[in-house]
Every structure is written in structure tokens, then in C-alpha cells.
Amino acid sequence: MNSLQANLAAMCLVAVCCLAGADDIRSFADKADLAPATLKSGLEFLTPETRAMQLDDFENPGFLWVEAGKALFEEEEASPSCQSCHAASGDRALRGVAARYPAVDSQAGELLNLEQRINRCRETHQAQPSLAYESAPLLSLTAYVASLSRGMPYQPSIDGPARSYFERGRAYFFARRGQLNLACTQCHDDNWGRMLRGDRISQGHGNAYPAYRLEWQTLGSLHRRFRDCDRGVRAQPNAAGAGIYVALELYLAWRAGNLALESPGIRR
């Protein structure tokens, strides 16, 4: 082997070592979760104008959906109406309920988020067909129910039957994916507060959802946001309502610690 060949061989070895280095990590799952002391709602990463828009209950366009949802909730044509069971006060009042979702449904034995819980209720108690994910009536009902827990911190259960879903959701958050080979954690744990093109990277909390996004010009679900994020790293997005997204929602709800629910929030 002459010296040129030796050099080439050494360079190849270095290249292989580099490839096998950082990029070989498929998952960051042994990293620590975001420390509770550093938690910041996405609200803090908005411009003052957008923040003011969320904090003004009239100028916040998300309330168009909350009002439409309230009307659906009280609609007597649904048999029986949502309100006839879930009166504003009493055992089945819905204040604080959104803060406990996603939760494992004891009858179905699977993890449901708020949208899916509302649909389950329609099917089993109202004899109504379930509503399509991301449809206006489902977004409206979800926004209304979520708005009843505004200002309350998340209290999801991650133990017992929820544990395996939590682990799956956490694994999704820490796993690299897509052509850009990025994990959620690399932006939202490692680089929050820094600029990504024209925007400041948030910590990726879901506490404003369903939220009115200025980019969408409409209210949308957290799963729609997940799909955008997955597309952003050029990964194949999952369907809205997919089990893995509900599991991710559970991990994020736990990760958000004592941040308050803001739905209907405004995001850029």
C-alpha cells in the first residue's frame, strides 16, 4: 500500500466514523425531559400584537368557534343534547375536563383525546354519527369544551393503562424522522428561543389547541399542527386522529407541567 492509498483509506475511515457518529443516533430517548422550571407557553414566543389578540376575548377569532360550539352543545335536535347531561354545574359539568385529556377510556380500553371523546359520546349516548376530524362542528365542540378549562393546568394520568401510550408518545418525540432526520426534541428542547428563519422556536406545547393559527387563517386541531411539523422535517405525516398522535398529545400534556390551557389560543 503506497502512501496515497494509505491516506485514502484513512480518509474513508474518518468519513465512516463521522457517519456512524452523531447521525447514527436514531433516538434521543435517554435524554432528560424539559425541566419544569424552564417551561414557557407558546404565548411568550409571539409578537406583542399577536399576544394582545389572544388575550382580548373579543378580538380573538377563536371565539367564533367557541360560540358555534356552545350553540351545538345546547342544540336540542341532538337527542339528547350535550347540555342535558353536562349541565354547567353538577357532577357532569365539563369545567376542568379538557385538562385531563388524553385519557384512557375504560370501556373502549384505548387512549382518547378530547375530539375522540366527543365523537364517542355522540355515538354511544346521542345515537349520532361521529364527526370528521378537523370538521367545523368537531373543532367548534372541542374548542368550546376546551375553553371551559381555560387557565387550568394539565392533569393527565400517565400511570396504569395510560403508561404504555405515554412511553410511545415520548419515544415519538425523541426519535429522528424525515429526510431532514430531525427529532422533535432537537428543536423544542435543545433550541427553543432561538430563531428558525423568521420565527422564534417555541417549546412545542399544545396548551393553546384547538388554536387559531394566522398561517391557517382558521382554527385547527393539535393534530393538524403535528402534521405540519412532520411535513416540516419532510417525514410522512400521520392521519389526524392517529393513535401515535394521541399518544404524543399525552406526552406533551404531561411535559407541559403546570402551564395553563389557553384554548382558543392564537398562534402565528
Partner 1 sequence: MNTIRIAAPKQARKGEVIELKAMIAHDMESGFRRDQFGRKVPRDILKHFECVYNGETVFAAEFFPAVAANPLLVFYITATDSGTLEFRWVDQQGKAVSDSVELLVQ
Nearer to partner 1, 26 or 216 (CB): 216
CA distances (Å), 98 to each of 66, 149, 209, 221, in order?
14, 6, 11, 14
Q: How far is the CB of 142 from partner 1 (least distance, A)?
A: 16
Share of the chain residues as helix, strand and coil, in percent rounded to the nearest 5: 45, 10, 45
- Spatial separation of the C-alpha atoms in residues 115 and 210, rounded to whole Å: 10
Neighbours of 107 (CB within 10 A): 7
Q: How far is the CB of 27 from partner 1 (least distance, A)?
A: 32
Question: What angle (nearest 5°) sits at the alpha carbon of residue 196, between those of residues 191 and 200?
Answer: 75
Is residue 54 within 8 A of residue 60, CB to CB? The reply is yes
Coil, helix or strand at residue 4: helix
Nearer to partner 1, 63 or 254 (CB): 63
Catalytic residue among 12, 18, 82, 229: 229
Nearer to partner 1, 49 or 159 (CB): 49
Q: How far is the CB of 198 from partner 1 (least distance, A)?
A: 18
From the list 97, 210, 90, the residue with the least C-alpha distance to 155 is 97
Nearer to partner 1, 5 or 217 (CB): 217
Nearer to partner 1, 56 or 123 (CB): 56
Q: How far is the CB of 16 from partner 1 (least distance, A)?
A: 41
Q: How far is the CB of 160 from partner 1 (least distance, A)?
A: 40
- Spatial separation of the C-alpha atoms in residues 110 and 14, rounded to whole Å: 48
Which residue's C-alpha cell is 355522540? 122
Strand order in the sheet with 211-213: 218-220, 211-213, 265-267
Active site residue 187: no
**Contacting positions for partner 1 (CB under 8 A):** 58-59, 61, 63-64, 67-68, 217-218
- Residues recognised as catalytic: 229
